Amino acid sequence: MRILKSRSFRASVSGSNHHLKVGFRRFVTSCRAVVLPRFGGPEVLELRPNVEVPALKPHEVLVRARAASVNPLDTRIRSGYGRSLYGPLLPIILGRDISGEVAAMGDSVRGLSVGQEVFGALHPTAVRGTYSDYAILSEEELAPKPSSVTHVEASAIPFAALTAWRALISTARIAEGQRLLVVGGGGAVGLAAIQISVARGCHVTTTCGKKSIDRVLAAGAEQAVDYTAENIEFTIKGKFDAVLDTIGGPETERICINFLKRGGHYMTLQGDAASLSDRYGIAIGLPVATAALLKKQIKYRYSHGIEYWWTYMRADSEGLDEIRRLSETGKLNIPVEKTFPITQVIEAHEAKEKKQIHGKIVLEFD
């Protein structure tokens, strides 16, 4: 790890060469990171000892990572999803979630302090991710870590919870007393959606696999339907104000649309922007995707009187702060099933891809 002198950053006090030193105004210029040099299976991931750490911009924060969760998006990008965006930028660093300590800050950062424990998540399109001893996030992508949880537990929360938050709060604007259907409640986004909705006073029905029934009911769902054993179209009764579909697919979409009240919101995580961009290239694919979304929005607005959305995670400082408060009070929790040291990132991706572990996988940094 390399360290250089600087006058541009506030830095933390530490005797370790992994940390920044106030007396010498130093900051880390290289560190250990997991790099994706090409698309492929888990075996393509490389743990490199000296990956460059860019200089901080005024609004950015350097975070010493303690834990980073493995998201489905990580394995999909590694396999080639979004190659039209990420391909020209290879090698990249995977990872979205992080929990750790503030090591240094740009001059415009005011809401955090050096040495403070924080957690947060990067945007889905970030190319310098959190599988790194030191990660860079903007101030709005971070919040104080809930003191009631460990770094491992905290790292499992932000990306999934912010994805659910954007759909439910920013888009559907759910309110107390409304009915919500979460398709795929056993996953991290679905589980976060259940807990956020319950905290808002909503009545939640969800679909999930048999192994997740007890978990989603404990999270506050009033009805949990095992989609592997029951026909959800006939088992679930009544209409809903909003549907969050984490699974996607034409048949699931058709069923969900018919469950909605007029004026309701259908939100899916499985938008076509990335796949169409991969097929046609960004220059053609994005306009085609925009047209496809608009066509569906017009179709369902006139045929069913509902709003149709593709939903993605994005930074939301207000949302992350509320997520922190919910986690602090025990109202929002994403269970971690297994941890791996960062040196075993290949094994972690193999376990995630083969669905050997039911629940979140987290990478730990020594």
Q: What are the domain boundaries of the chain? A: 3-156+335-364, 159-310
262-303 residue pLDDT tens: 999 999 998 888 888 888 888 998 899 899 899 999 999 999
Evaluate whether 221 touches 203 at the Cβ level (below 8 Å): no
Evaluate whether 228 touches 221 at the Cβ level (below 8 Å): no
Whether the per-residue pLDDT at 78 is higher than 80: the answer is yes
CA quadruple 41, 46, 47, 50: dihedral sign: negative
Residue type, 111: G
Question: What integer is the mean pLDDT of 73-100?
Answer: 95
For the stretch 236-273, what's the b/e string if a residue is b when 16 or more beta carbons lie within 10 angstroms of its beta carbon? beeebbbbbbbbbeeebbebbbebbbeebbbbbbebbb
Q: From residue 23, give the alpha-carbon distance in Å to each of 13, 103, 109.
A: 8, 14, 20
- The values of phi and psi at residue 107, to 5°, are -65, -20
Confidence tier at 343 by pLDDT (50, 70, 90): very high
Confidence tier at 52 by pLDDT (50, 70, 90): very high
Query: Residue 266's beta-bridge partner residues?
Result: 243, 308
Q: How many CB atoms lie within 10 A of CB 2?
A: 12
Strands (DSSP E) found in 219-259: 223-226, 240-245
222-254 residue pLDDT tens: 999 999 899 999 999 999 999 999 998 899 999
Q: Which of 32-41, 168-177, 203-212, 280-289 has the lowest mean pLDDT?
A: 280-289
pLDDT of residue 220: 97
Question: What integer is the mean pLDDT of 310-318?
Answer: 91
Query: What is the DSSP pairing of strand 60-70 with strand 10-11?
Result: unpaired
Question: What integer is the mean pLDDT of 199-206?
Answer: 97
Confidence tier at 2 by pLDDT (50, 70, 90): low
Structure tokens that stand for 206 in this block? 């969800």
pLDDT of residue 11: 55
Whether the per-residue pLDDT at 19 is higher than 50: the answer is no
Nearest residue to 221 (alpha-carbon basis) of 249, 184, 246, 166: 184
The yes/no answer on whether domain 159-310 falls in CATH 3.90.550.10 is no
Q: Which residues contact 39 (CB under 8 A, 6 or more apart)?
A: 78, 79, 80, 83, 87
Question: What integer is the mean pLDDT of 16-24?
Answer: 38
For the whole model, what pTM was predicted?
0.90
pLDDT of residue 273: 83
Question: What integer is the mean pLDDT of 356-360?
Answer: 80
pLDDT of residue 23: 31
Whether the per-residue pLDDT at 7 is higher than 60: the answer is no
- The values of phi and psi at residue 94, to 5°, are -80, 175
The yes/no answer on whether domain 3-156+335-364 falls in CATH 3.90.180.10 is yes
Whether the per-residue pLDDT at 259 is higher than 50: the answer is yes
Confidence tier at 21 by pLDDT (50, 70, 90): very low
Asked if omega into 91 is within 30° of 0 (cis), the reply is yes
The CA distance from 66 to 105, in Å, is 18
